[in-house]
């Protein structure tokens, strides 16, 4: 494993890790909102390395050891998160990479493939939704998930690491599919997140309050020529399965892998063999 610091500008640095550096297939992992690199499970990353990937994961802005901004006042946009991914590839000397994105990271991955087509060797989109504004009419989140965004929740004592870990664990629980919430695994990751994060309130807040920046609308038809796999759980309470199916229908040539009883989450370990096998067919 090698660690890198990517300087984006005078204000911003990103912490990046690369494993399997001698492998021939670079794989850039783009996490969901609030995700540092830690949420890409170490064992899953080792599985990718064993399959021949050079795995690149990094702390997005406001997460982990990357630059933190004042809580509630990020001065970057979602478009910056797309160009951050390009900067990471540039720093590592990677011309083209296989790209996997989960949830909000799947949105970043779609934008990356549309705007920087020649940098993306293949695309794996996990638990996410189409960014193409022409695709509408998809079902919304389940009411229990909607309430999490509309009802004020008590914040933890940010100075108490154990309380913050508990808060993160309970925040992840509602999104998992039935029988697929591994509390011990989530708690271990949450403890690493708390131990590494520069500003926990910012990490848990700022990705949800990013200002929009005018960009041309993304058409998923523009992803033609990029091998694509959509991975979606049948029990996703945030983006119901129809989102994944619409995404697979909209990207020319895309295939879909439906995971029974998996929710809005990183696919659990019992699915990894199928996931990695499906991804390697894109190479």
Strand partners, 95: none
Looking at residue 6, which CATH number applies to its domain?
Answer: 3.40.50.1820
Q: What separation in angstroms does the CA of 49 have from each of 149, 188, 257?
A: 36, 22, 21
Range of the domain at 57: 2-140+198-280
Angle between helices 78-91 and 104-115 (to 10 degrees): 70
pTM: 0.97
Query: Residues 185, 176: contact at Cβ < 8 Å?
Result: no
Q: What separation in angstroms does the CA of 140 have from each of 64, 130, 236, 239?
A: 30, 13, 11, 7
Decide if 161 is inside a domain.
Answer: no
Q: Count of alpha carbons within 13 Å of 122, Cβ hemisphere only? A: 19
Decide if 165 is inside a domain.
Answer: no
Give residues with Cβ within 8 angstroms of 185, minimum separation 6.
Answer: 41
Q: What is the pLDDT of residue 153?
A: 75
Decide if 70 is inside a domain.
Answer: yes
Decide if 156 is inside a domain.
Answer: no
Tokens standing for residue 227: 């091998």
**In angstroms, how far is CA 70 from the centroid of its own chain?**
22
Q: What is the pLDDT of residue 212?
A: 74
Which among 19, 38, 10 has a CA at the least distance from the CA of 189? 38
Which among 39, 15, 18, 36 has a CA at the least distance from the CA of 27? 18
Q: What is the pLDDT of residue 213?
A: 67
Q: What is the pLDDT of residue 151?
A: 82
Tokens standing for residue 105: 């990271």
Decide if 81 is inside a domain.
Answer: yes
Buried b / exposed e over 205-224, threshold 16 CB at 10 Å, is bbbeebeeeeeeebebebbe
Decide if 250 is inside a domain.
Answer: yes
Decide if 153 is inside a domain.
Answer: no
Query: pLDDT tens digits, the chain, 283 residues: what are they?
Result: 999 999 999 999 999 999 999 999 999 999 999 999 999 999 999 999 999 999 999 999 999 999 999 999 999 999 999 999 999 999 999 999 999 999 999 999 999 999 999 999 999 999 999 999 999 999 999 999 999 888 877 899 999 999 999 999 999 999 999 999 999 999 999 999 999 999 999 999 999 999 876 678 899 999 999 999 999 999 999 999 999 999 999 999 999 999 999 999 999 999 999 999 999 999 9
**Number of domains forming the structure of the chain:** 1
**In angstroms, how far is CA 20 from the centroid of its own chain?**
20
CA distance 148 to 256: 29
Decide if 152 is inside a domain.
Answer: no
Q: Where are the alpha helices (DSSP H) in the chain?
A: 42-50, 78-91, 104-115, 143-150, 161-172, 183-196, 200-205, 241-250, 272-280
């Amino acid at each position: 494993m090698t660690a890198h610091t990517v300087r984006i500008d005078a204000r911003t640095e990103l912490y990046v890790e690369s494993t399997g550096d001698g492998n021939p297939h670079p794989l850039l992992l783009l996490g969901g909102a609030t995700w540092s690199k830690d949420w890409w499970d170490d064992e899953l990353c080792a599985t990718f390395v064993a399959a021949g990937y050079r795995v690149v994961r990094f702390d997005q802005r406001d997460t982990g050891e990357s630059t933190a901004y004042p809580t509630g006042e990020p001065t970057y946009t979602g478009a910056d998160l797309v160009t951050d991914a390009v900067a990471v590839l540039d720093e590592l000397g990677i011309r083209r990479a296989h790209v996997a994105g989960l949830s909000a990271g799947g949105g970043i991955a779609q934008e990356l493939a549309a705007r920087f087509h020649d940098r993306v060797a293949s695309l794996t989109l996990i638990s996410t939704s189409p960014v193409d504004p022409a695709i509408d009419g998809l079902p919304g989140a389940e009411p229990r998930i909607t309430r999490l965004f509309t009802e004020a929740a008590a914040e933890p004592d940010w100075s108490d690491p154990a309380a913050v870990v508990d808060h993160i664990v309970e925040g992840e629980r509602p999104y998992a599919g039935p029988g697929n919430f591994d509390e011990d695994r989530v708690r271990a990751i949450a403890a690493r997140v708390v131990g590494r994060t520069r500003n926990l309130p910012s990490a848990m807040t700022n990705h949800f309050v990013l200002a929009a920046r005018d960009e041309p609308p993304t058409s998923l038809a523009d992803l033609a020529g990029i091998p694509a796999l959509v991975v979606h759980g049948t029990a996703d309470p945030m983006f119901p399965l129809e989102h994944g199916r619409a995404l697979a229908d909209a990207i020319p040539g895309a295939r879909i892998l439906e995971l029974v009883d998996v929710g809005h989450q990183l696919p659990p370990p019992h699915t990894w063999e199928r996931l990695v096998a499906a991804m390697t067919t894109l190479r």
